[in-house]
Structure 1
Amino acid sequence: MSFKEYLKNNQRIVYNTFASSIKANRLSHAYLIKGNEGAPLLETALFLAKSLICPHADPLACEECLTCIRFDEGNYADFKLLNGQEKNIKVSDIEELQAFFQNTPSEKSKKMIYIIHALENSNKESLNALLKFLEEPQENVYAFITTYNEEKLLPTILSRTQHLKLLPLKKGELIQKVENEGISKDDAEILSNLYGNVETIVSIGSSKTYIEIKNLVFDTLDALQKDTKEALFFLENNALNKLKDKVNARLYLDILSCAFKDILNIQLNLPIIIESQKYLFDSLAKKLKNVDSIYKEIMLTRGKIELNVNIALLLEHIFIYIYEGEK
């Protein structure tokens, strides 16, 4: 399924809104594309941006012509991308962006486009610099900004952009589609609680990194079942060296939070997500006294991953917190 078909079938409001704007020649100078964690925000921004320059758009990109191919390959001269998921966006990044768009367009379409992905990973100075850029829009310059957390953006940025929201699939429908793509039921259930679209889940669920990190989580919990100190020892000696970057640490905490949500649900006599680990979770539900507070601490720690903090210390903090709380 092409991305165009994905939008048309699963994100009809976004598809129709943008298509109508192109047909009526009433494009906004800046769009804010938002959605839950795992929603294909960057892919959507790239496709909509490509639709503005495709000579065969109907009115959205054909995805087959030379212009579309050049854009996909990163060879469209009048385009810039800042990716906040790869590194925090700095003031200097915004200043370089502004300087680039002072140039005369070199492509035939005369349209210049930039995407800022995951803008929430910016400091206040960067957001203020972007705001000034948005307040003085240039003719034929179009912005696509994405965010998984619009609460971290300035209200004035929100007010100067047209919002396009990606809707999550219903959980049962998402799991079924993911299983049809060859992902196991257990992995489909875990990942559907973390991500909102089939493509992301299939990509992550098929990766060796995901399997390794998932196993690290359950091995750590198995150690925790035996002794709280042993869990910390396992983390320090077997896991931390594999969780040095933000992406892997984030995934570790996401799976860990799913596990503790299940442990809490067992204590509350509620259904669980990861049925394959029920025996382990039953044991931990009987052993641990403060599951609710542990779950909340994991979620708080997850939020700090985006900051420039020591990842090893963050992860150690969780199991020290468990150890101290279970004395």
Structure 2
Amino acid sequence: MNTWSDIAAIQPMASQIITNSIIKDRISHAYLLQGARGTGKEDIAILIAKVLFCENKSGANPCLACNACKRIDSGNHPDVHWIEPDGQSIKIEQIKNLQKEFTYSGLESDQKVYIIKGADTLTANAANRILKFLEEPSKKTTAIMLTENSQSILPTIRSRCQIIDLKPLNPLHFQQKLIDAGLNDATAKLMSALTNNLDEAIKWSQDEWFAGARKLMVQLVEAFTDNVSDVYLFIHNHWMQHFNERKQMEQGLDLLLLAFKDILYYHIDHEDALVIFAPDERLEKLAMYYSQDKLISILQDLLEAKQKLKQNVHPTLVMEQVTLQIKR
């Protein structure tokens, strides 16, 4: 997305708020962009940076052709700094290094921009450290913080930022984009339930690892009803072998969430929402085995398992615990 018109197509309110600020020369010293993956956080951050550095902007839009715009696109602008989680979190050492940059003048102008991805992963010490900048803003320094989970950010940080809420994308619109890109209807529906990122969805749809992950997920769901005594063997001999990285495990839990949601949707005659199973005898059998109350409990257990992964609990322990909970 290269212009505010592109942003407005998916985030009209955010586009209007920011472009009004640009036109009135009232760009905030700190923004907090909060929204799910794929809702345009990074695109908005990059556009704000381009506006601040562009040599030939027209109204609220950067020219996209000048040296500054091109360097921001390539990630090589010396006065635009990106901070990303180091592992599971943004650590105090990263913020200390960033603060050193605060003391220097911009290499090519007095303007500086700092974009902090995954701002909700700031450790407590790092979060307190970043407050120094937010409490004593420089007129020529702009911070842009990106998060999927704003409630995990310190209230003192939130209160010092202009908060921009990004709305979830229209799933039907996204599904159509996937179909236009060559995915069949069923795959487009599944991918739109897993991600809002077009490139990511297309990549997963062509990935043999993902096809294997989906197959294992179905086998595990059926094992809970057909071979419950062998579930732990399946987890250790097959599941953990395939989902051997933390992000892969998160994808596995996401697939399980969708599968158990399908069973619940079948219970309540909401078959148009199915994304994993077809409304056939297999799904009918699963619905007979699980009550609605049990399914709601399982969905809660899976969500808690995802949270434990984010809290750095060992993936094998997380999977063993949620397996035990589902078996009860």
- TM-score normalised over the length of structure 1: 0.89
Q: CA deviation at 1:86?
A: 5.3
- State how far apart, in whole Å, the 2-side matches of 1:106 and 1:201 are: 39
2 CA distance for matches of 1:45 and 1:205? Answer: 28
* Superposition deviation, residue 317 in structure 1: 1.7
Match of 1:171 in 2: 171
Shift of 1:20: 2.2
Moved more, 137-146 or 77-86: 77-86
Give the conservation status (yes or no) of the 8 Å contact 1:236–1:316: no
Query: What CA deviation, in whole Å up to 9, does each residue of 1:242-291 have, x standing for no partner?
Result: 32333212111112111111112223333342264444433222223522
Counterpart position of 2:274: 273
User: Which letter does structure 2 place at the counterpart of 1:298?
Assistant: L
Aligned counterparts of 1:70 and 1:138: Cα–Cα separation in 2: 23
Give the equivalent residue in structure 1 for 2:148: 148
TM-score relative to the length of structure 2? 0.89
Query: Are the aligned partners of 2:31 and 2:143 in contact in 1 as well (CA < 8 Å)?
Result: yes
Q: Is the 8 A contact 2:30 2:162 kept in 1?
A: yes
1:187 Cα deviation from its structure 2 partner: 2.6
- With over 3 angstroms needed to count, the CA separation of the structure-2 counterparts of 1:209 and 1:66, relative to structure 1, is farther
- What CA distance in whole angstroms lies between the structure 2 residues aligned with 1:42 and 1:286? 45
1:1-327 to structure 2, matched below 5 A, reads 2=2, 5-58=5-58, 59-84=60-85, 87-107=88-108, 109-196=109-196, 198=198, 200-271=200-271, 272-274=273-275, 276-279=277-280, 280-289=282-291, 290-323=294-327, 325=328
One-letter amino acid matched to 1:284: L
Would the alpha carbon gap of residues 209 and 54 (structure 1) be closer, same or farther in structure 2, given more than 3 Å must change? Answer: farther
Of stretches 210-219 and 7-16 in structure 1, the one that deviates more from structure 2 is 210-219
| Cα offset, 1:147, TM superposition | 1.1
Q: Which amino acid aligns with 1:51?
A: V
- Aligned to 1:305, what secondary structure does the other structure show? helix
Partners of 2:40 and 2:318 lie apart in 1 by 28
The answer on whether the counterparts of 1:168 and 1:197 sit within 8 Å (CA) in structure 2 is no
Alpha carbons 1:33, 1:145 under 8 Å: kept: yes
1:33 alignment partner, SS class: strand
CA RMSD of aligned residues (A): 2.4
**Residue 35 of structure 1: CA displacement?**
1.0
Which deviates the most, 45-54 or 293-302? Answer: 45-54
Q: Deviations over 1:111-154 (max 9, x none)?
A: 11111112112232222222222111123111110111111111
- Judge which range, 207-216 or 130-139, deviates more: 207-216
Describe the SS at the equivalent of 2:270. Answer: coil
SS at match of 2:115: strand
> C-alpha distance in 1, partners of 2:262/2:181?
25
Q: How many Å apart are 1:85 and its aligned residue?
A: 8.2
CA contact (8 A) 1:257 1:295 kept: yes
Q: Distance in 2 between matches of 1:114 and 1:163?
A: 16
- Deviating 4+ runs (over 4 angstroms): 1-5, 197-200, 206-209
Task: Check conservation: 2:49, 2:72, Cα contact below 8 A.
Answer: no
Identity %: 27
* Contact 1:131–1:157 (CA under 8 A) maintained in structure 2: yes
How many angstroms apart in 2 are the aligned matches of 1:74 and 1:197?
A: 20
User: How many pairs align?
Assistant: 323
CA 1:63/1:218 → structure 2, altered by over 3 Å: closer, same or farther?
farther
Rounded Cα–Cα distance in structure 1 between residues aligned with 2:245 and 2:276: 29
Change in Cα spacing, 1:43 to 1:210, as seen in structure 2 (3 Å) is: farther
* Distance verdict in 2 for CA 1:234–1:17, change over 3 Å: same
| Unmatched segments (≥5 aa) in structure 2 | none
Q: Which runs of 5+ in 1 are unaligned?
A: none
Shift in Å at residue 208 of structure 1? 4.4
Aligned partners of 2:321, 2:35: CA distance in 1, in Å? 30
Cα distance change, pair 62–212 in 1 and its aligned pair in 2 (3 A): farther
